[in-house]
């Protein structure tokens, strides 16, 4: 115990140091990364957006960032599977905390999120966002597109989120339609995986339906994504309801017939060829969860996103 420390999230002396906190104790940042607003020499930022006023069914995703951080505590002390390495040995990652939002004035929410995301991205760091309902992806996408131009959207979801939009509307079911209309994403090179509902318009986006995901192998799904997106800069968004409710019961709009967490994690593992500029995990609503099943899935997906970025960094250093 002589070399052990606790509360690594606030006591860490290096952004690349491993934590030794017991998994059941200590300050709960994402994977015990240091809590800080200092963006200097940072490779990747984990940031929470605790917002769920745009949900159409069960609220509660505002508690998603807390739940994902709590579940991530089991993953820091060992080399991260399946990447066979300590992801933080050569990648400086911080937990930037949460976006401060005025719960009584939701019309200010989009601009607040976009402004804070732009500040983080200005540092050059990769941004991994923890939602929150899926509306939060809209202002985050805008901040990324302001730097990189129109992005290819790689969306894991049970829903298309392309319902008719109204100017100024705050809705987690229409942000994709708005992003296409406003030129924030390129529909021709965007793809949605796991869709198990129908919306009036597909906006020209390639859809891999839930039954296709069931019939395809993980490598086939990944190959379809990579072929469609190509080498275009892309944004990876993961709505936890992409997973079947058996693997993600804690979400606002669950849809039966989805894939397992194991299959989708295998898909993510194969996406290293993508030029991923930013990513998020959204719609974790812990009030409907059981034994942290959904939070564990969400935190693992987020870790895989960091693993993909670590691989991208390694190729360029």
Question: Are 49 and 134 contacting, i.e. CB atoms less than 8 angstroms apart?
Answer: no
Classified as helix, coil or strand, 203 is coil
Q: What is the structure's pLDDT at 1?
A: 54
Topology adopted by domain 8-316: 3.40.800
Q: What is the structure's pLDDT at 2?
A: 55
Query: Crossing angle of helices 137-148/109-122, nearest 10°?
Result: 40
Cα-Cα-Cα-Cα dihedral sign, residues 79, 80, 82, 85: negative
In the chain, the DSSP E strands lie at 34-35, 44-49, 93-98, 126-131, 152-156, 191-195, 206-209, 233-239, 275-282
Model pLDDT for residues 252-291, shown as the tens digit of each residue: 999 999 999 999 999 999 999 999 999 999 999 999 999 9
Q: What is the structure's pLDDT at 172?
A: 84
Stretches in the chain below the pLDDT threshold 50: none
Return phi, psi of residue 275, to 5°.
Answer: -95, 75
Q: Where are the domains of the chain?
A: 8-316
Q: How far apart are the first and last CA of the chain?
A: 35
């Amino acid at each position: 115990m002589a070399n052990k420390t606790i509360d690594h999230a606030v006591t860490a002396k290096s952004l690349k140091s491993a934590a030794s906190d017991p998994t059941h104790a200590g300050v709960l940042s994402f994977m015990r990364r240091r809590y800080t607003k200092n963006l200097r020499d940072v490779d990747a930022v984990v940031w929470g957006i605790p917002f769920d006023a745009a949900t159409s069914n069960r609220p509660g995703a505002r508690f998603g960032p807390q739940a994902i951080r709590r579940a991530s505590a089991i993953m820091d002390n060992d080399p991260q599977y399946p990447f066979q390495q300590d992801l933080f040995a050569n990648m400086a990652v911080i937990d930037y905390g949460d976006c401060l939002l005025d719960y009584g004035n939701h019309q200010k929410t989009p601009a607040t999120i976009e402004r804070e995301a732009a500040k983080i991205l200005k540092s050059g760091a990769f941004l991994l966002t923890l939602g929150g309902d899926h509306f939060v992806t809209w202002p985050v996408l805008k901040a990324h597109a302001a730097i990189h131009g129109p992005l290819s959207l790689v969306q894991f979801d049970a829903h298309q989120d392309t319902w008719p939009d109204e100017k100024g509307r705050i809705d987690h079911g229409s942000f994709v339609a708005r992003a296409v209309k406003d030129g924030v994403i390129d529909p021709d090179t965007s793809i949605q995986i796991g869709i198990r509902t129908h919306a009036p318009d597909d906006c020209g986006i390639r859809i891999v339906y839930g039954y296709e995901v069931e019939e395809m192998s993980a490598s086939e799904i990944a190959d379809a994504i990579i072929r469609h997106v190509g080498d275009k800069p892309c944004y990876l968004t993961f709505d936890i309801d992409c997973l079947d409710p058996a693997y993600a019961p804690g979400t606002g709009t669950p849809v039966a017939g989805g894939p397992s967490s194991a299959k989708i994690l295998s898909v993510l593992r194969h996406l290293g060829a993508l030029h991923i500029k930013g990513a998020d995990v959204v719609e974790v609503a812990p009030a409907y969860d059981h034994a942290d099943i959904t939070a564990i899935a969400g935190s693992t997906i987020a870790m895989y996103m960091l693993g993909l970025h670590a691989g991208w960094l390694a190729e360029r250093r």
